[in-house]
Chain A
């Protein structure tokens, strides 16, 4: 199985600030990488697919980049409703696998 790692596991930022999360795959996955947001007690929601494409309805302050084994997820202008855990997920190879998550909180 392809192993996905994320860093950091936890980060705190200020409202209006910039958040960057990295995701690394154990082998080349091209751009078959998605990002999900999960708020406490809720199901994950798809934010970005194919590494950099914003899902319909997702605010433009969310963005993603990268290919191969190294990917980046960014929230610019952090809003209170962005407090959540963020997961990357690869679907280049079966089974699809997720990163361990990055919890984002306020300073």
Chain B
């Protein structure tokens, strides 16, 4: 069974600085996807970034980038130039590359990020 571990329950960062959130996962499969979701106080689940396991290049989306280390099964999220609106829970998630329950997202327990002015 796949598992996702986020070892930092809470983190804080000063506005405009850079912060990295950690995520490790465990799987014996080779074809999968990894995601970071943001959940602000409204509880809406917002996709931040996605990484296909077969791609060696790290995904980036504006101020958000990942460090994907497939052999180490590590998938960290870097937020550059942090903004107050980045304050939220961040969930790392894993998904196999096919449908049914095996296409289900497996979530970590989340990291609560606070951006301080």
Asked if A pairs with B, the answer is no
A-side residues, CB < 8 A to B, are none
B-side residues, CB < 8 A to A, are none
